Chains A and B, each alone.
Chain A
Amino acid sequence: MDLSELNQIKERELAARKKYTLRCCMAAGCMSSNAESVKEELEKAVTEAGLGQEVEVRGVGCMRLCCEGPLVQADPDGILFEQVDPDAAKSIIAALKGGKAKARLGNPQSPFFTQQKSIVLANSGIVDPERIESYIAADGYQALYHVLRELDPNEVVTEMVTSGLRGRGGAGFPVGLKWGTVAKSPGAKKYVVCNADEGDPGAFMDRSVLESDPHAILEGMAIAAFAVGADQGFIYARAEYPLAIDRLKKAIKQAKAKGLLGAGIFDSPFNFTVDIRIGAGAFVCGEETALMMSIEGRRGTPRPRPPFPAESGLWGCPTLINNVETLANVAPIIRNGGEWFAGIGTEKSKGTKVFALAGKIKNTGLIEVPMGTPLRTIVEEMGGGAPDGGTIKAVQTGGPSGGCIPAHSLDTPVDYESLGKLGSIMGSGGMIVMDQDTNMVDVARFFMEFCMDESCGKCIPCRAGTVQMHHLLDKIMDRKATARDLQKLEELCDMVKSTSLCGLGQTAPNPTLSTLRFFRNEYEERLQPDVFGPRGNGKPAKTKASA
């Protein structure tokens, strides 16, 4: 494969475009509401209407407004059909010629769509994730060619540093710095790992990216491998994402067949192969050291860092681990330059961030917005606020490691620092909206239960501490706790946060701490008087009224 062949594929693909294209969402969300039949019926209807030369029915990735699926969008006019029934297929085809479609019309000009800025999701809903030609037509693998033939590894790292991209897995570590460290780590064998073990409740950004644009990940990994000097990559995906895994497998096969993975890519001395490793359903395997243990075939438990994977990772070799969304940013950064990327977002948080909007909100789905977008814009304008005339009480970001941001702080811009100041984190991108009926103690208990179930059991604070914190939260919920119990809970939060071995335990108290910070009254109103406590000494404690 060389550049002219790549461009040939692109031109052939573009030349084959038809007058009308019906893009059908074939991501997990829409497929769970019968999108496959919709696509089949549309294809049948096209054939029956004899419009095979004029209309292309294309399966694409996520079209974002998941709550209104199955979604179909008709080009060139961009007419959006929502909740499409397979029976409406004929009428939709007829509508292309001016008829009336028996499907709900969506509004592509609503803020949900217009406020988005697509880098990671640029191909999502546009290209056919199962055909490499479709990706190449969208300038796919051009960045890889540029890197392999026109840059040296150092320049690639510099470009990433310039871009200011930070890790999208949650912690926000500067990507360029990480790449540079792995590149400098001595070792003949190095690895690149894509962390696709997305596990936060309510988060589905990485799944959508993998289902919608798998080649972007492969291209990002190959560029990363060239930059750090690796020749083997692993994608660690959770088994609960069968569609993503299936599309990745197809993508790898196609890329290999085209010579875009394997030996001597683009006639350069660079070799790179990618293998998929499937997780067995443990949340903790999203933690990088546990993930590597799992790839090595061992029990997925974290180990203390340092040494960091950049120095000693898979089988003791320097290893670069990046999250799916991080890698999806790589090719666009190389194509457009680090400066371009650094021009988007805020001073310390560059680029865009993908969020999975869920919970008590009208428009559930996937959004990509520039860093620094106020939460209010996301939740009220794009998300459409709480359904059924409800009011928004809080927004949870960062999943079980994050916190709840109260409604009065909705003007906070979404960036790493601002969310951190509010006791939450950017996290991987789960955003759960809560309305006035949500009990915040219950929210804290839910996330604590999640961490308790997902603790690997290796270190004591996380294994036994989460059990006790959950028990105390249970007691508070059941109105059986006293002020002493609340004090014990707070003490345990501090202890588990400070002493746990890995990020899972260190962040497990966060949802509790943040709800305690902003909704303390909800805890306190459930407390019982401590009649037999230390100060009461048997006598019922004096209340304010009697004192």
Chain B
Amino acid sequence: MAAITLTIDDKQVSAEDSQSVLSIAQEQGIAIPTLCHLEGVYDVGACRLCLVEVAGVNKLLPACTTKATEGMVVRTDTERLRKYRKITLELLFAERNHVCAICVANGHCELQTMAYNQGMDHVRYDYCFPKWDMDLTHERFGMDHNRCILCARCVRACWHIEGAGTKNVAGRGARSHIITDMFQPWGEAESCTSCGKCVMACPTGALFERGSTTGEMQRDRTTLEFIVTAREKKQWIA
């Protein structure tokens, strides 16, 4: 392991040669937007939000999977990158049914936060409005494909932190979707340990704890009735 020096956004920084550009930038307090990156699991370079410009390289490189090298000159926030990042977010919002107002993750969503941080006040592309179902067969967790951005953080957390290998991706293109075991309902997926790591990994409202959706809000009215009846009949007095 050797120490190297590189330049990120005109700032000279030193780092170890095994580090990714993303981790060095984060250490230096330089914010590079990410969605598929998650501390603790390996990087796949899929969301393309962390693309950066590297002097002498004619392609844009994902900061998460690009190892830093001596003398590298990196730019993380150019006009071109900002434009591409905004388009990426617009594409995500148009792709599935992200209805923030009624989403379980409203106010706690990385996609939502990313959108306003990148200045996206509307989506210029026509929305796709695909039909996706929810999987509510697991007793503790739910999966709403309408909110999924296919970052596969849940898949990586399931395989590489929990080691269960329950989650996977099926289908291709726009019909790609997260599945459990061999495309069984989550509740019947025998390999699932119900550890909840996938829910913790999810950046949006696609994976959530049961009971947190508006449709699932259950109120136990019988308790009220019990208290009123008991008070009227003075049942708590021995």
- Measured CB to CB, the residues of A under 8 A from B are 282, 284, 299, 303-304, 452-461, 463-468, 471, 488, 491-492, 495, 498-501
Which of B9-17, B41-49, B203-211, B214-222 forms part of the interface with chain A? B41-49
Q: Which of B124, B169, B172 contacts A488 (CB 8 A)?
A: B124
Q: Which of B47, B87, B124, B172 contacts A459 (CB 8 A)?
A: B47
User: Is there an interface contact between B174 and A468, defined as CB atoms closer than 8 Å?
Assistant: no
Q: Closest chain A residue to B177 by CB distance?
A: A457
Given A454-B173, A499-B51: A464 and B46 within 8 A (CB)?
no
User: Is there an interface contact between B46 and A455, defined as CB atoms closer than 8 Å?
Assistant: no
B91, B169, B173, most chain A CB atoms within 10 A: B173
Minimum CB–CB distance for B145 against chain A, Å: 13
Does B65 sit within 8 A of A, measured CB to CB?
A: yes
User: Is there an interface contact between A501 and B48, defined as CB atoms closer than 8 Å?
Assistant: yes
Minimum CB–CB distance for B6 against chain A, Å: 17
Given A459-B46, A499-B51: A453 and B62 within 8 A (CB)?
no
User: Is there an interface contact between B87 and A303, defined as CB atoms closer than 8 Å?
Assistant: no
Given A488-B125, A501-B45: A460 and B92 within 8 A (CB)?
yes
Q: Could you list some 25 contacts between A and B, CB below 8 A?
A: A282-B172, A304-B44, A452-B174, A453-B173, A454-B173, A455-B173, A456-B172, A457-B173, A460-B46, A460-B48, A460-B149, A460-B150, A461-B88, A463-B176, A464-B91, A464-B92, A467-B128, A468-B91, A492-B87, A495-B83, A495-B88, A498-B60, A500-B48, A501-B45, A501-B46
Does B94 sit within 8 A of A, measured CB to CB?
A: yes
A491–B169 Cα distance when bound, in Å, is 30
Contact digits for B84-106, partner A, Cβ 8 Å, 1 yes 0 no: 10011001101100000000000
Does B175 sit within 8 A of A, measured CB to CB?
A: yes
- Beyond A464-B92, A467-B174, list 14 extra A-B contacts (CB 8 Å): A452-B173, A454-B172, A455-B173, A457-B169, A460-B150, A461-B48, A464-B95, A468-B94, A488-B124, A491-B87, A495-B87, A498-B60, A500-B48, A501-B48
Chain A residues positioned under 8 Å from B29 (CB to CB): none
Chain B residues positioned under 8 Å from A460 (CB to CB): 46-48, 88, 91-92, 149-150
Contact digits for B160-183, partner A, Cβ 8 Å, 1 yes 0 no: 000000001101111110000000
User: Is there an interface contact between B169 and A299, defined as CB atoms closer than 8 Å?
Assistant: yes
User: Is there an interface contact between B46 and A499, defined as CB atoms closer than 8 Å?
Assistant: no
User: Is there an interface contact between B124 and A458, defined as CB atoms closer than 8 Å?
Assistant: no
Minimum CB–CB distance for A38 against chain B, Å: 40
A488–B91 Cα distance when bound, in Å, is 12
Does B126 sit within 8 A of A, measured CB to CB?
A: yes
The 6 closest A-B pairs by CB, nearest first: A457-B176, A464-B91, A304-B45, A455-B173, A464-B95, A304-B65
B59, B87, B149, most chain A CB atoms within 10 A: B87
Chain A residues positioned under 8 Å from B172 (CB to CB): 282, 284, 454-457
Q: Which chain B residues (60-83) contact chain A, with CB distance < 8 Å?
A: 60, 62, 65-66, 83
Minimum CB–CB distance for B158 against chain A, Å: 14
User: Is there an interface contact between A458 and B44, defined as CB atoms closer than 8 Å?
Assistant: yes
Chain B residues positioned under 8 Å from A492 (CB to CB): 87
| Interface size counted on chain B using CB atoms at 8 A | 34
A456–B152 Cα distance when bound, in Å, is 13
Minimum CB–CB distance for A301 against chain B, Å: 8
Q: Closest chain A residue to B61 by CB distance?
A: A304
Minimum CB–CB distance for A447 against chain B, Å: 15
A211–B62 Cα distance when bound, in Å, is 41
Chain B residues positioned under 8 Å from A491 (CB to CB): 87
A32–B48 Cα distance when bound, in Å, is 45
Minimum CB–CB distance for A109 against chain B, Å: 48
User: Is there an interface contact between A499 and B44, defined as CB atoms closer than 8 Å?
Assistant: no
Q: Closest chain B residue to A488 by CB distance?
A: B124
User: Is there an interface contact between A499 and B174, defined as CB atoms closer than 8 Å?
Assistant: no
Chain B residues positioned under 8 Å from A498 (CB to CB): 59-60, 84
Chain B residues positioned under 8 Å from A457 (CB to CB): 150, 169, 171-176
Minimum CB–CB distance for A532 against chain B, Å: 15
Q: Closest chain A residue to B88 by CB distance?
A: A460
Q: Closest chain B residue to A301 by CB distance?
A: B169
Chain B residues positioned under 8 Å from A454 (CB to CB): 172-173
B92, B94, B176, most chain A CB atoms within 10 A: B176
A464–B173 Cα distance when bound, in Å, is 8
Minimum CB–CB distance for A458 against chain B, Å: 5
User: Is there an interface contact between B150 and A463, defined as CB atoms closer than 8 Å?
Assistant: yes
A488–B66 Cα distance when bound, in Å, is 30
Chain B residues positioned under 8 Å from A465 (CB to CB): 87, 91
User: Is there an interface contact between A468 and B125, defined as CB atoms closer than 8 Å?
Assistant: yes
Contact digits for B193-211, partner A, Cβ 8 Å, 1 yes 0 no: 0000000000000000000
User: Is there an interface contact between B84 and A495, defined as CB atoms closer than 8 Å?
Assistant: yes
Chain A residues positioned under 8 Å from B47 (CB to CB): 459-460
Q: Closest chain B residue to A451 by CB distance?
A: B173
Chain A residues positioned under 8 Å from B128 (CB to CB): 467
A490–B47 Cα distance when bound, in Å, is 21
User: Is there an interface contact between A499 and B60, defined as CB atoms closer than 8 Å?
Assistant: yes
Chain A residues positioned under 8 Å from B150 (CB to CB): 457-458, 460, 463
A467–B47 Cα distance when bound, in Å, is 16
A452–B173 Cα distance when bound, in Å, is 7
Minimum CB–CB distance for B91 against chain A, Å: 4
Minimum CB–CB distance for B180 against chain A, Å: 15
Q: Closest chain B residue to A499 by CB distance?
A: B48
User: Is there an interface contact between A499 and B88, defined as CB atoms closer than 8 Å?
Assistant: yes
Minimum CB–CB distance for A316 against chain B, Å: 13
Chain A residues positioned under 8 Å from B176 (CB to CB): 456-458, 463
A461–B44 Cα distance when bound, in Å, is 15
Q: Which of B51, B94, B124 contacts A464 (CB 8 A)?
A: B94
User: Is there an interface contact between B171 and A459, defined as CB atoms closer than 8 Å?
Assistant: no
Q: Closest chain B residue to A456 by CB distance?
A: B172
Given A464-B174, A467-B128: A458 and B46 within 8 A (CB)?
yes
A5–B128 Cα distance when bound, in Å, is 66
User: Is there an interface contact between A304 and B169, defined as CB atoms closer than 8 Å?
Assistant: no
A284, A461, A466, most chain B CB atoms within 10 A: A461
Chain A residues positioned under 8 Å from B45 (CB to CB): 303-304, 459, 501
Chain B residues positioned under 8 Å from A499 (CB to CB): 48, 51, 60, 84, 88
A495–B60 Cα distance when bound, in Å, is 11
A463–B128 Cα distance when bound, in Å, is 13
Chain A residues positioned under 8 Å from B95 (CB to CB): 463-464, 467
Chain B residues positioned under 8 Å from A466 (CB to CB): 173
Chain B residues positioned under 8 Å from A471 (CB to CB): 125-126
A491–B90 Cα distance when bound, in Å, is 13
